[in-house]
């Protein structure tokens, strides 16, 4: 998992509340569990004018010119600014996979659905919860090329005017993001102890290892 420390990047404004995971990555794309390759299908039903299917060449599909990610000024956005209850609906982990594969590293919203929020941390995405009035102010400041600077160690978001906004995060989740540790990598930190336990167990119960 890619570590998250600091990020200064263009912000894409998705001014919608209750964005569910089927909107983030529609159900027909859930057949694969590769974790990679979902970026072209992110927000598929909003982003394109036709229906997407797995393995389609998205470079030839008709784009919806009104959707935010299709606008040139948000082409390289790595921060998504959105409204409350983002990631609601089914618990598919494909949703953060698609966001991360597209290029997003952080999402700012007044609230997130619990399972989606947890899945973000497992996949190197930083979900930042800010008060609704603060999110409103960020939407109001939006202009082409608008960037925010995020410092995870300091737990701050800094606007182009120099305003610094603090956000809260669980210390364990913060540690894991700063060090790029997903569940497997965290377990492998104890690899020596695991091997020692298995070796001792093989001596005590050799019939289990035959």
Element (H or E) spanning 12, and its range? strand 6-14
| Number of domains, the chain | 1
Q: 121 in a domain, yes or no?
A: yes
Q: 130 in a domain, yes or no?
A: yes
Is 92's pLDDT higher than 70? yes
* pLDDT bracket for residue 120 (50, 70, 90): very high
* pLDDT bracket for residue 181 (50, 70, 90): confident
| Separation CA 197–CA 202 (nearest Å) | 9
Q: 159 in a domain, yes or no?
A: yes
11: domain CATH number is 3.20.19.10
Q: Which domain holds residue 113?
A: 6-179
What confidence tens digit (pLDDT) does each residue in 78-88 have? 999 999 999 99
Q: 14 in a domain, yes or no?
A: yes
Q: 184 in a domain, yes or no?
A: no
1-36 as b/e: b if 16+ CB within 10 A: beebeebebbbbbbeeeebbbbbbbbeebbeeeeee
Q: Do residues 95 and 87 touch, judged by C-beta distance below 8 A?
A: yes
Q: Do residues 84 and 18 touch, judged by C-beta distance below 8 A?
A: yes
**Residue 149: partners with Cβ closer than 8 Å, 6 or more residues away:** 6, 7, 8, 157, 158
Q: 185 in a domain, yes or no?
A: no
Q: What's the pLDDT at 112?
A: 98
Residues 64-72: what's their mean pLDDT?
A: 96
* pLDDT bracket for residue 25 (50, 70, 90): very high
Residues 181-187: what's their mean pLDDT?
A: 69
Task: Let me know how long the chain is.
Answer: 210
User: Secondary structure of the chain: what % helix, strand, coil (to 5)?
Assistant: 40, 20, 40
Q: What's the pLDDT at 150?
A: 98
Angstrom distances, CA of residue 110 to CA of 2, 91, 134, 144: 25, 19, 9, 23
For 12, list phi and psi in degrees, rounded to 5. -105, 125
**Biggest distance spanned by C-alpha atoms of the chain:** 68
Is 41's pLDDT higher than 90? yes
* pLDDT bracket for residue 200 (50, 70, 90): confident
What tokens appear for 59 in the block? 């470079």
Spell out the alpha helix ranges (H) of 8-131: 21-24, 44-47, 94-102, 114-122
Q: What's the pLDDT at 1?
A: 85
Element (H or E) spanning 165, and its range? strand 164-166
What tokens appear for 200 in the block? 């001792």
Is 195's pLDDT higher than 80? no
Is the pTM for the entire model greater than 0.85? yes
Q: 17 in a domain, yes or no?
A: yes
Residues 44-60: what's their mean pLDDT?
A: 94
Q: 66 in a domain, yes or no?
A: yes
Q: Do residues 10 and 77 touch, judged by C-beta distance below 8 A?
A: yes
């Amino acid at each position: 998992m890619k570590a998250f420390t600091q990020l200064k990047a263009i912000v894409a404004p998705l001014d919608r509340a209750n964005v569910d995971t089927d909107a983030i990555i529609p159900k027909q794309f859930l057949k694969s569990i590769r974790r990679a390759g979902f970026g072209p299908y992110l927000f598929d039903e909003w982003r394109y004018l036709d229906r997407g299917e797995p393995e389609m060449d998205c470079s030839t599909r008709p784009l919806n010119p009104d959707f935010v990610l299709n606008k040139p000024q948000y082409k390289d956005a790595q921060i998504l600014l959105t409204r409350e209850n983002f990631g609601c609906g089914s618990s598919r982990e494909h949703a953060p996979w698609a966001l991360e594969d597209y290029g997003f590293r952080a999402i700012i919203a007044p609230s997130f659905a619990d399972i989606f929020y947890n899945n973000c941390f497992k996949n190197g995405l930083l979900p930042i919860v800010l008060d609704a009035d603060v999110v409103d102010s960020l939407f109001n400041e939006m202009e082409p090329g608008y960037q925010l600077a995020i410092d995870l160690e300091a737990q701050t978001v800094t606007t182009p005017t120099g305003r610094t906004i603090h956000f809260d995060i669980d210390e364990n989740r913060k540690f894991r993001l700063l060090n790029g540790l997903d569940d497997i990598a965290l377990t492998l930190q104890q690899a020596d102890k695991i091997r020692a336990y298995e070796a001792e167990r093989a001596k005590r119960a050799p019939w289990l290892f035959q």
